[in-house]
Every structure is written in C-alpha cells, then in structure tokens.
Structure 1
Amino acid sequence: MIEPLAIISTAAAIALVILGVAFLLAGWRVLAGPTLPDRILALDTLSGTAIGFIAVLAVKTGFSLYIDIAISLGLVGFLATVAFARFVMSRATVAERYSENAGGASKKPKVAAKRSGKKDRKGKK
C-alpha cells in the first residue's frame, strides 16, 4: 500500500517543478515582452506563481506561517497590478492629449453638457 506522505511528497515535487517552469517562462516574458501591458501581465503571473510556490511549500513542510506570507504576497501583487494598470491608462490619456494638440492650435477640451433637467443661472434648461 502507498503511504499518504509519499503521495503528498511526490505531488509537491511535481508541482514545484511545474511552478518553477512557469516562473521561468513568466520571467522571460517580463524581460522580453514586446509591450508594457505584456510585461505587467507577466509580473502578475510571477506573483501568482510565487503564491502557488509558497502554498506548495506550506503543504510539503506543514509550516502554516507560509500561508500568511502567501496571502500578503497576493495582496501586494494585486495592488501592484492595479497601480501598473493605472499608470498605463494615465500614460495613454497623456499621449491622446498630446496627439490632439500636436496640430499647433491649442484646442479647449470638450466638456459634456449636463442634462439633469435643472435650470441654469440664466433660467434655461
């Protein structure tokens, strides 16, 4: 009969190898990613892979503190991804503004009219 600890040890070893390969591939994408969003997604993948790696180590060693570390790494990874996404979006809006004003004439930004149904100061709707 196969011992349960042998199954867990073998499964953990296989999982660590697979996670190691995933970590290397995501690291390659960070370094060689053709665009900035590709690199950001690769960093998010690295974070998720590291969380999986820590979780497998927690199961293999039985040390439950690793789970707390994985949870905090997940929080930091999520916040970093959101921050990078906001950076990319702000960079895109700055580029759009620059391309609109590149014609030489300074244009005022278009402001959408409010349609709340209330009258303005002049008594018009």
Structure 2
Amino acid sequence: MNNIIDITLLLGFAILSLALLLALLRLLKGPTLPDRVVALELIASITIGIIGLYTILSGKDTYIDVTMVLALTAFLAAIGFARYLEKGSYRDDN
C-alpha cells in the first residue's frame, strides 16, 4: 500500500513539474501582459500544489502554513495586477 502512495506522489511531482515548466514558458513568451499575469498566478498555484505534495511525502504539517501564506500572497498579487491592468486600459463604463 505504501508503495502505491509513493508512486502516486512521484507521478504528481512529475505532472506538476511539467506544468510548471509550461507555465514558465508562457510567462517568458507572453505575448501580452494579461497572459503573463495569468501565467504568474498559475505558477503560484502549481508551487502550492508541489509544497502540498511534499507535505504529504515528508509527513510534516508545518509546510501547510507555508502554502497558506503563499496562497494569500498570490491572491493579493492577483488583485494588485488586476487593478494595475484596469487603471492602465480604457474603460467604457465610466
């Protein structure tokens, strides 16, 4: 039973690592600023998933605090980026 959990965790790390690489590629290539902002938020979410998997693998629940802080920071960054993008563009509803 423990062997199945280890294989599942390793498979999860592999899939999340591939997703992180693809999100990093989107962050670097763009082509627009909103694409890069979404890629940055995706990288934060994938990092939270990787830390969560590592928490399960190591058995230490102190890493859950790290994921919560990272999730809150990413959420506040998303709000900041959205406000920046909204202020910098033309709005039709004013």
TM-score bracket for the superposition, by shorter chain length? over 0.9
Which residue of 2 is the match for residue 100 of structure 1?
Answer: none
2:6 pairs, out of 9, 13, 19, with: 9
Provide the rounded CA distance (Å) in 2 between the counterparts of 1:17 and 1:79.
28
CA drift at 1:8? 1.3
1:71-110 equivalences in 2 (<5 Å): 71-93=68-90
Provide the rounded CA distance (Å) in 2 between the counterparts of 1:24 and 1:66.
23
Please, which runs of 5 or more residues in structure 2 have no aligned partner? none
- What fraction of aligned residue pairs are identical, expressed as a percent? 37
**What is the one-letter code of the residue matched to 1:56?**
L
1:19 pairs, out of 16, 20, 43, with: 16
Count of equivalent residues: 92
TM-score where L is the length of structure 2 = 0.93
| Structure having the higher Rg | 1
1:45 is the counterpart of 2:42: yes
Provide the rounded CA distance (Å) in 2 between the counterparts of 1:19 and 1:39.
19
| Larger helix proportion of the pair | 2
Which residue of 2 is the match for residue 117 of structure 1?
Answer: none
The 4+ residue runs of structure 1 with deviation greater than 3 A are: none
Please, which runs of 5 or more residues in structure 1 have no aligned partner? 97-110, 112-125
If asked which structure has higher relative contact order (CA below 8 Å, sep 6+), I would say: 2
